[in-house]
Amino acid sequence: MARQKFFVEPWLHVGDDSRKGLVRERRGDTEQPENKGANMHRRYDRNHIPIELLRTLVAIEAEGSFTKAGTVLGLTQSAISAQVRRFEQLVGGDVFVKSGGGLSLTPLGASIAQYARRILQINDQILSRPGAQSSERLVRIGISTTLASVLLLPMHHKCRASDKVHQVQFRCDDSVALSKAIEGGYLDIAVLFLSQGQTLEVLDEWLEPLVWACSPNLLVSPNERIPYISWLNNPVDDIAVAALERAGRHYLVSFASPDFNARMIAAEGGLGYTLLPERAVTGGLKIARESFLPKLPPVRIGVAVGPDFNRHAARDLVRAAIEVTRPEEPFRLVVDRTVDAPIPVARSPQLAQWR
């Protein structure tokens, strides 16, 4: 007897109650109840939410857009959109709403996100236990884009030389995005600018001089308005504006972009002044020492780790990241919370006024 073949009608979607539990036999038009055991192979059903959908929800919440979440997760925007639609079908409502040029959670989404973060933490803890996957454990390290030119390659070489057990993945982004990624569990270690109100677990932090930087060809007279290259919605931008206004200096935003490379191109092209940590002034820029530029406070930079990251198991990587990141003289450190034996810390009386 020939084996019977069944097919699900192409327009029949999981969750479509009007056709639930029905399949059509190819030999004839009689509809028969679906075999209950066939449900076991379905990727999505109403009783199980796949872990990747929860991770996508949390990523969009942290990044504020489908595109940025896709970059973090290695997925296309269309794939992210499809996952969100599937998730909303499973939970029975919208989880995101457009807000201020981005996305924010609906009340339903906010409620679900609390559970999603807890589930993801448990999932990641299970996978991080010894022997869970392969002998190589992935460690994700984020570096502030501002410091990438001086830290990325040295850190890559130092991590490879210091730890043969872990696989290392690097990500460069602005400090606000890195902070969200650490809190959301998408990074294990991050080198970033620190600001008030953060709840990150910081292993080591210090103060670094912040300087005005510009093209060697930029000429501005003391009576002109200061052309400023803006870092939109960023704490460093707030420092620049506050310093200019405190000094009573007139300025104009000659260029504005959230993209670090675009700002550096503008600065090297002579469009204006920008702010950088002193050791990050490289390439076609110089430290601007014009007397009409206001003095700047130093910035807090540090090494933070994720809440579920086993820093003791990866202690060699942690120490390598701190040793490469830790500035040399004349920069001074403020605190040191490295794992196990501490590395000597230098302190600066010149920077004490900013503590």
- Is the same domain home to 216 and 279? yes
- Is the same domain home to 78 and 108? yes
d(CA 60, CA 341): 39
From 38-47, 49-58, 153-162, 332-341, the region with the lowest mean pLDDT? 332-341
Domain count, the chain: 3
Residue 63 lies inside a defined structural domain of this protein: yes
Residue 33 lies inside a defined structural domain of this protein: no
Residue 117 lies inside a defined structural domain of this protein: yes
Decide if pLDDT at 1 tops 80.
no
- Work out the average pLDDT over 283-287: 92
- Is the same domain home to 148 and 193? yes
**Burial 3-32, CB ≥16 within 10 A → b, else e:** eeeeeeeeeeeeeeeeeeeebbeeeeeeee
pLDDT band at 345; cut points 50, 70, 90: very low
d(CA 30, CA 335): 75
Pick the most confident of 56-60, 112-116, 280-284, 285-289. Answer: 285-289
pLDDT reported for residue 131: 56
Residue 250 lies inside a defined structural domain of this protein: yes
- Is the same domain home to 109 and 253? no
- pLDDT, tens digit, 9 for 90 and up, residues 247-262: 999 999 999 998 899 9
Could you tell me how far CA 162 lies from the centroid of its own chain?
Answer: 25
Residue 27 lies inside a defined structural domain of this protein: no
Residue 95 lies inside a defined structural domain of this protein: yes
Task: Give the residue, 81 or 72, on which the prediction is more confident.
Answer: 81
CATH number for 98? 1.10.10.10
Residue owning tokens 């075999």: 35
Which of 76, 109, 128 represents a domain boundary (last residue)?
A: 128
Decide if pLDDT at 312 tops 90.
no
Range of the domain at 252: 210-287
pLDDT reported for residue 4: 42
CATH number for 177? 3.40.190.10
- Work out the average pLDDT over 324-331: 71
pLDDT reported for residue 253: 94
- Work out the average pLDDT over 275-283: 92
Please name which of 62, 100, 101, 95 lies closest in space to residue 81, comparing C-alpha atoms: 95
From 17-26, 28-37, 317-326, the region with the lowest mean pLDDT? 17-26
Helices (H), the chain: 51-63, 66-73, 77-91, 107-128, 145-162, 175-184, 235-246, 260-268, 315-325
pLDDT reported for residue 13: 36
Which of 258, 287, 316 represents a domain boundary (last residue)?
A: 287
- pLDDT, tens digit, 9 for 90 and up, residues 66-77: 988 888 787 888
- Is the same domain home to 276 and 157? no
Chain mean pLDDT for the chain: 78
- Is the same domain home to 110 and 235? no
Task: Work out the percent of the chain whose per-residue pLDDT is above 90.
Answer: 39
Find residue 191's DSSP bridge partners. Answer: 143, 303
- Is the same domain home to 168 and 230? no
pLDDT band at 120; cut points 50, 70, 90: confident
Task: Give the residue, 185 or 136, on which the prediction is more confident.
Answer: 185
Residue 22 lies inside a defined structural domain of this protein: no
Which of 237, 260, 287 represents a domain boundary (last residue)?
A: 287
pLDDT reported for residue 95: 92
- Is the same domain home to 216 and 335? no
pLDDT reported for residue 189: 94
- pLDDT, tens digit, 9 for 90 and up, residues 22-37: 333 333 444 444 444 4
**Residues 59, 171: contact at Cβ < 8 Å?**
no
- Is the same domain home to 143 and 118? no
Query: 324 CB contacts (<8 Å, ≥6 apart)?
Result: 151, 154, 155, 158
Residue 58 lies inside a defined structural domain of this protein: yes
- Is the same domain home to 214 and 281? yes
Decide if pLDDT at 354 tops 70.
no
Decide if pLDDT at 192 tops 50.
yes
From 28-37, 266-275, 277-286, 338-347, the region with the lowest mean pLDDT? 338-347
- Is the same domain home to 189 and 329? yes
pLDDT reported for residue 341: 38
- Is the same domain home to 226 and 282? yes
pLDDT band at 270; cut points 50, 70, 90: very high
Pick the most confident of 44-48, 58-62, 264-268, 345-349. Answer: 264-268
Task: Give the residue, 62 or 247, on which the prediction is more confident.
Answer: 247
301 membership: H or E segment, kind and range: strand 299-305
